[in-house]
Amino acid sequence: MNSARWSDLDRPPLNETALRRALVVDGSLWTHLEVAESLGSTNTELVRRAREGGAAPGTVLIAEEQTAGKGRLDRAWSAPPRSGLFFSVLLRPGPPPERWGWIPLLAGVAVASALARAAGVDTGLKWPNDVLAVHEDEERKIGGILAERVDEHHVVLGIGLNVTLREDELPVPTAGSLALAGARGTDRDPLLRAVLRALEDWYGRWTEAGGDPSAGALLDAYAAGCVTLGRTVRAMLPGGDDLVGEAVAVDGDGRLVIASEQGVQRPVAAGDIVHLRPATGK
């Protein structure tokens, strides 16, 4: 394209052919890979295709630009074209639906392990769906994860990662990017391959364990990388109620267990929380 917004030489396009050759192979979880120049939301588009019968499990849909990207509870997610990785995958989980709350959490573990290996960046996971990295001694959000149920058999999992966003391009002061966090490389092709391979690995372990996060080492891996655990948090619930206490664990169904000052432990699911913030209000 000749449009000026696509002329940033520091942000080359993804190589769809090479990605497909590397990832869509015999025995892989991934069955189809497509790179679109611009979509409103990869999650919205893939959910639509799945419901209309136009996408098979294992489909990977990537957008160079999202014009209506969304996070949890339909919050907006925006970034310049080709500045990040914005993609969704269609899954047909084998474990029972009550275990599906682990899908965004295992995706977080996969993203964290892939970025450590491929970019040399240590990340933290904020339950349930944020990926954080340190920039100027401050935890910044560099990525988000969103799982949407298509029907009783299928889930679309979306992942967005800020890769090359500069300080003046950040949508909010609490945002960050791999580049700002000191990544040793920001070539999106190897980063995407690393994330999708790690996702396939952790999804496979979870599936083989029948969704039991303890059996496949998933629970331990998530707990080790979750910065929410051990902190005092304020869970803002629908209806305006607040639950304040220490985040002490993630249970077998992927719910965050919050212990009140009175010692009462209450598990809360991601769908039950409007906001999860430090109790100080920061």
At 227, list the tokens: 């910065």
Q: Tokens 């999860």, residue? A: 276
Residue 144 in contact with residue 160, Cβ under 8 Å? yes
Tell which of 182, 202, 224 closes a domain: 224
117 shares a domain with 52: yes
Q: What is the pTM of this model?
A: 0.92
Q: What is the pLDDT of residues 169-198, one digit of tens each?
A: 998 999 999 999 999 999 999 999 999 999
Residues 207 and 245 occupy one common structural domain: no
- Mark whether 96 and 10 lie in a shared domain: yes
Q: Do residues 186 and 244 both lie within one domain?
A: no
Mean per-residue pLDDT for 42-53? Answer: 97
Structure tokens belonging to residue 79: 């970034």
Q: Average pLDDT of 99-119? A: 97
Q: Which residue, chain included where needed, has tokens 């136009």?
A: 54
CATH number at 37 reads 3.30.930.10
> How many structural domains does the chain have?
2
**Do residues 216 and 237 both lie within one domain?**
no
Cα-trace Rg, the chain: 18
pLDDT at 281: 47
Q: Are residues 219 and 133 in the same domain?
A: yes
Give the pLDDT of residue 204.
98
Residue whose token pair is 């849909």: 61
Q: Which domain holds residue 241?
A: 229-278
User: For 131-148, what is each residue's pLDDT tens digit?
Assistant: 999 999 999 999 999 999
Q: Are residues 141 and 161 in the same domain?
A: yes
The reply to whether 190 and 93 lie within a common domain is yes
Positive or negative, the Cα torsion across 65, 71, 74, 75? negative
Residues 213 and 94 placed together within one structural domain of the fold = yes
The pLDDT of residue 111 is: 98
The C-alpha atoms of residue 77 and residue 56 are separated, in whole angstroms, by 26
Q: Within this chain, do residues 216 and 242 fall inside the same structural domain, yes or no? A: no
CATH number for the domain that contains residue 270: 2.30.30.100
Do 154 and 89 reside in the same domain of the chain? yes
Choose the final residue of a domain: 179, 198, 224.
224
Query: What integer pLDDT is reported at residue 74 of this predicted model?
Result: 55
Q: Return the percentage of the chain with pLDDT > 90, whole number.
A: 81
Furthest-apart CA pair in the chain: how many Å? 63
Residues 140 and 254 in one domain: no
How open is the CA angle 216-221-227, to the nearest 5 degrees? Answer: 150
pLDDT tens for 62-84 read 999 999 765 554 556 668 999 99
